[in-house]
């Protein structure tokens, strides 16, 4: 008696569900490939400082901005939002 490996494989429900799950995961992975191709940062970066200027956080932000500009090759902007809840 000769059995085809495909026919034997597809007749068992557990193996069929494993095969379908594998194909679904594989197709999802191929769909996300283009999203991983983007480089960071793709646009200017904004650093929000939740304190008033001329404080310790302002000094730290002013030290970091030139280094981040050189490292990322993208402009970094500092915004001061003192007294506001940042979401």
| pLDDT per position as a tens digit, 13-48 | 667 777 777 777 766 666 555 555 567 778 899 988
d(CA 68, CA 44): 11
Residue 49: φ, ψ to 5°? -100, 115
pLDDT class of 7 with cuts at 50, 70, 90: low
* pTM for the whole structure: 0.49
């Amino acid at each position: 008696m000769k059995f085809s490996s495909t026919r034997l494989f597809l007749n068992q429900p557990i193996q069929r569900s494993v095969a379908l799950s594998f194909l679904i995961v594989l197709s999802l992975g191929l769909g996300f490939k283009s999203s991983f191709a983007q480089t960071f940062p793709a646009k200017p970066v904004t650093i929000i400082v939740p304190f008033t200027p001329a404080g310790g956080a302002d000094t730290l932000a002013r030290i970091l901005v030139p280094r981040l500009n050189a490292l990322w090759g993208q402009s970094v902007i500092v915004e001061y939002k003192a007294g506001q809840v940042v979401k």
